[in-house]
Amino acid sequence: MADIRRSVDAFAGSAIAVAVAGAVALLTHQPWLFPSLGPAIMLHVEKPQAPESSPRNTLIGHAVAIGAGAFSLAVFGLLNDPSVLVENVTLTRVGAGALSVALTGAILLLLRASHPPTGATTLIVSLGFLQTPPEMAALMVGVVILTVVGWLVNRAAGVPVPLWSAGES
């Protein structure tokens, strides 16, 4: 019976978090709904007390991923190039993608802020899907919305999730 309850909570939490981020995106005409939010919310609802699911790791992780993606675009001279979907795969785009994932993983390990969905976020930036400062800011706002809603839904379901980092409640 506990597994059914967890499944229902995960279903509701996932639906609510994505719906809220999507509704805000619709209302503001901003891309606050993007692919790496899916795995992030899955962590929040499936493993809410795990360190990688904490608000700290989620927010730091995606901020680092966005920064690493932008840095990689700059290093490879791709800041003004069209996305990989328009330009196709090039050696410079592969380099930017590889550098962004490597930087994100290394920095997050140093910060003790692992959050696996950030691998998708950094590729979203380094592959050029969202690459302007306003787009990157909107991406981060989407992460904040998802994190807050995920935290609220878990708390409402009686899950003692941390306010900031794992080990506190």
The average pLDDT across 85-95 equals 95
* pTM reported for the whole predicted model: 0.92
- pLDDT tens column, 35-67: 899 999 999 999 999 999 999 999 999 999 999
Are 149 and 20 in contact by the 8 Å Cβ rule? The answer is yes
Tokens found for residue 151: 């935290």
- Token reading at 8: 């229902």
Say whether pLDDT at 168 is over 80: no
Q: Is the pLDDT of residue 169 over 60?
A: no
Average pLDDT for residues 71-84, to the nearest whole number? 96
Please give the residue that has the higher pLDDT: either 63 or 17.
63
* Structural domain boundaries in the chain: 2-156
